[in-house]
Amino acid sequence: MISIKNLTKKFKDLCAVDSLSLDIYEGEIFALLGVNGAGKTTTIRMLSCISRPTSGNAEIDGFSLKKQSAKIKEIINISPQETAIAGNLTVRENMEFIASLYYKDKKIIEEKVKALLKDFSLEDVAKKKAKLLSGGMQRRLSIAMALVSAPKVLFLDEPTLGLDVIARKELWKQIEELKKKMTIILTTHYMEEAEALADRIGIMVKGKLVEVGTVAELKAKTGEEKFEDAFIKIAGGKL
């Protein structure tokens, strides 16, 4: 579904993403891990056409990131690390606004919004201004907004940041449900989240993708029993 070739992003003399090559298969959940500043968000921003690569390219569903970004924008969506919610609009207005960018028919907009508010347990707060929601509810709203367009590929940058343990597990279930319908690339600092959700994991260190594999493969490679220890070894450059 996604084929990344030598994708690179430089900020002046900092190479935030360094010649990253990777294939992500249709229908999988791929977790991109790495310590703060490893280059995860920068990678996701390039793949979701928010930021232009310095060099390299990727194909998403056969479309070239460099040459066909308009096509790619039609089939992807993103819930960014800093959620893009309009605080002064209500939850429902946020959803309606996003839906109106994709659909003209008022009835369809209403149906989509209604279904997603239900799926993400946001019905009770639909009339609340988004800025008054708790952090966890804002995350849920952000993901619901990304799903309005029924994307083939969904990028989730730290989807469960700041969520309590119950809300996090609830969201895991919802993400697993989505898996049947789309390819998902997520980032997280919670190792148990990557273990619970990801089919495969990629670990970035200083802009470079240093390891890719299943939880079992990465554990075997490092000789660690716990995935967290395997991650620490790889991400800390001790392998």
Choose the stretch contacting Mg ion; rule: CB under 5 A; options: 61-69, 74-82, 92-100, 159-167. Answer: 74-82
Give yes or no for residue 183 binding ligand ATP (CB under 6 A): no
Give yes or no for residue 42 binding ligand ATP (CB under 6 A): yes
For residue 179, the surrounding DSSP H or E stretch is helix 165-179
Sign of the C-alpha dihedral, residues 12, 16, 18, 23? negative
Among ligand ATP, Mg ion, none, residue 34 binds (CB under 5-8 Å by kind): ligand ATP
CB of residue 55 to ligand ATP, shortest distance in Å: 16
Site string for Mg ion, 22-51 (x = CB under 5 A): ------------------xx----------
Q: Shortest Cβ contact with Mg ion: which residue? A: 41
106 vs 94, 102, 131, CA distance in Å? 15, 11, 26
| Residue ranges in 75-94 that form contacts with ligand ATP under rule CB under 6 A | 81
Determine the Cα–Cα distance for residues 23 and 212; give it in Å rounded to an integer.
10
40 vs 32, 115, 200, CA distance in Å? 6, 31, 15
Determine the Cα–Cα distance for residues 34 and 43; give it in Å rounded to an integer.
12
For residue 87, the surrounding DSSP H or E stretch is none
**Residue numbers at the binding site for Mg ion (CB under 5 A):** 40-41, 81
Q: Which residues bind ligand ATP (CB under 6 A)?
A: 11, 14, 16, 34, 36-42, 81
